[in-house]
Structure formats: C-alpha cells, structure tokens
Amino acid sequence: MNAAIDCGFRVVKPDHEDWDRYVRDHANGTVFLTSAMIRAFEATRGFSPYAVAALGAEGRICAMLVSYHVKTLELAAPISSRAVQFAEPLCDPDPKGSGALTGLIHLHDKHMRNRSLLCEVRSIYEPGDEKEVLLSAGYEFHDYVNYLVDLQSDADVLWKNLQKKLRQQVRAAARKGVEVRDDNTLEGIDRLYNLLQETYSRAQIPVPDKSLFVNTLEQLPQEWVRLRTAFFDGKPVASIMSLTYGDRIFSWYGGTLRLGGLSPFASIVWEDLEWGSRNGYKYYDFGGAGWAGQDYGPRGFKARFGGEEVRFGRYTKTYSKMRRRLAELGFSVSRRIGIWS
C-alpha cells in the first residue's frame, strides 16, 4: 500500500492514534469502522481487511474506508471471493474530504481488482458526501430496504407500535415459559452458532466461521456486545448477537429453531427494544431487509415491530463481469444440489 495518494494526503492504518476518535466524532461513525471490529474480522478465517484513512497536511484524518476481501469457498476463490464494506466510507463534508476519499477508493479498487469479483458497500446511514464519490468511481447504487425503530419513547409506546399479532406472540411465548437470558460467554457463542447453522442451512447460504463471533466477544468492549438467548424447556431455541455503538443497537446475527405456535425470536427482539429504550439508545437497526422489489422472507417479520422503512441503499462495483457470471451460475447450481446444507 502506498504511503500517499495523488491528492497529497498520507495514508494511515487503524493503529493511528486518531482512528477511533474520527469514527466516534463523525456523524456516520459506526462500530464496523472501529479498530476493535477490524481486529475481530482480521482474526477470522476468510476475512482479510483493507482499512485505510487519509491524513491531511495538518495531521488530521479527513476520510476513511474499511473493506474486507471475503473468501466464501477456499477451493473456488477466483469465482467466489468479493470485497465487502460493512459500512459506507467516511469523509469530511468538504471538497478536501471528498478528494481524499476519492484517492482512498482508487487505492482500494486497485488492491481488490485482481483478488475479488466485485465490491459491495452496505450503507447504514442516509447517503451523504460519500455517495457522489462512489458513483464517480464507477460504483452503482441499488435500492435496499431496512427498518429503524425509534427507541426515544417509553416501553408502553413501543409495545403499542408492534403489530397486534406480534404482541400476541410475545405474550404467548412468555405464558408458555420462554425465558430470554443474557449470554455473553463462549458457551453462549456455541448456542448462537448452532442456531445460526440451523437457520442458514434452511436458507441455503453459508454461515461465517464461528471464530468471527468469538473474536467479536474478545476484541470489542464488553458493553458493545449484546448476546441474548431464548430458552424453552431448558433448551436454547433462539439467539441474537447485537452490537451497540453510539446511539444505535445493530441487530447483527440471529438464528432460531422452527417451533409450531411459538416465536422465541420475537421475544428477544422485543426485549432488546425495551432494553434500548430504557438505556438511552435512539435507534434499533435491523441490519437490512432485502433488495427492493424482491422477495425476502425476514422483511415481513422485521416490519411488524413498528419501525420506519428506510432505503439508504447499497453500492456495487464489478471488477470482472465474466468471473461474476461464472460465480452466479455456480451459486445457482450449488443451491440446487444442496451444497450449503
């Protein structure tokens, strides 16, 4: 990686003393850009980070980008790997910041071009200065749905905002003895992962390596990680790992068993909403609800919690159209023969 970019800014890495301060102070700063989260991903099999920031002449960070080269299938890396930014890049809201971010994106694409099929940028906030920079760099913007629940109300208001059927399901789970517990332990990670494997197998998509969740628990401050498990008849039946940062709770990964007449997953989400409101958080972020205009099973479930539908979008840039076509064909065939099960 070059020590400087064309517009005269110096490139620094997450060990720079001002890295986390910039994330914390930026209006769109998120846990996914922090040095702790980068360390967690870096220690996980299948993820190689590319995290850079631009330092201006006055010695201040003015733009930042965090991306990962993600390998899903080691034996088919040339047609299965991609670059993923789990949050949009940041920049100062002025021409200097936009110029610095343009340079960082150029370096990123040069680094990823021969390693990845494409890059996907997953927006968490309403698009800002970064949108024009990404579009100018050849990225395409796509309509993507998410739900944000405003937690700045008391529990009674949040409860009334739930759809009636959902309230009935939460009450029924409590009557039948579903118990939701804090589970921030390695044993809790085991329970979460078993449930993730069950859920992802049904959807026929790959689950990240278990070490991602262990590393997250070990690398992030304890108060940033909220792992909750629902038990029924003494057995774990649903689990969610959420990440807290700033004014937001981000619902990250969750899995559940299918139990007739019981919705323990809804119980966990409701308790997270209630807890967030009680502890001064402003938003509960469902982490995405699928591409607009396409069927996505969990979307209906997430919509029932009374949140606002937002469409902050995602961006993609394809580095090799031929390899992408091969990848899409391979993924379609693999799902038909059950390779993900």
pTM strictly above 0.95: no
- Specify whether the CB–CB gap between 259 and 178 falls below 8 A: no
- Tell me what pLDDT residue 6 has: 53
Region at 182 (left for phi over 0; alpha for psi -120 to 50; beta for the rest): beta
CA dihedral (87, 250, 186, 269) positive or negative: negative
pLDDT tens track for 273-308: 999 999 999 999 999 999 998 888 889 999 999 999
* Residue burial 101-122, b: 16+ Cβ < 10 Å; e: rest: bbbbbebbbebbeebbbbbbbb
Give residue 326's pLDDT.
60
Q: What CA–CA distance (Å, rounded) separates 177 from 19? A: 46
Which is nearest to 314 in space by CA: 293, 296, 290?
290
Which pLDDT score is estimated for 193? 97
The pLDDT, as a whole number, for residue 84 is: 96
pLDDT at 2 over 50: no
Sorted by sequence, the CB contacts under 8 Å of residue 316 that are 6+ apart come out as 118, 119, 120, 121, 139, 140, 142
Tokens 């078993």 found at? 194
- The length of the chain, given as a count of residues: 341
Dihedral sign computed on CA atoms, order 117, 243, 301, 315: negative
Q: Which neighbouring-strand residues pair with 231?
A: 179, 236
> What is the radius of gyration, based on Cα positions, of the chain?
21
Rounded to an integer, what distance in angstroms lies between the CA atom of residue 259 and that of residue 176?
Answer: 12
Strands (E), the chain: 10-12, 47-55, 61-70, 82-85, 90-91, 118-122, 140-142, 146-150, 179-182, 225-232, 235-245, 248-256, 283-285, 308-310, 314-318
How high is the pLDDT of residue 41? 98
Distances (CA, A) of 92 to 23, 31, 137, 179, 247: 11, 18, 18, 45, 20
Residue 206: pLDDT band with limits 50, 70, 90: confident
Beta bridge partners of 82: 70
- Of 141, 144, 110, nearest in space to 11 by CA: 110
Model confidence band, residue 93 (pLDDT cutoffs 50, 70, 90): very high
Q: 11-65 pLDDT, tens per residue?
A: 999 999 999 999 999 999 999 999 999 999 999 999 999 999 999 988 999 999 9
Which DSSP state fits 243? E
pLDDT at 341 over 50: no
Q: What is the percentage of the chain residues whose pLDDT exceeds 90? A: 80
Give the bridge partners for 120, in sequence order. Answer: 84, 316
Instruction: Please say whether the beta carbons of 134 and 105 come within 8 A.
Output: yes
Q: How far is CA 164 from CA 31, 161, 262, 306, 319, in A?
A: 33, 9, 15, 11, 47
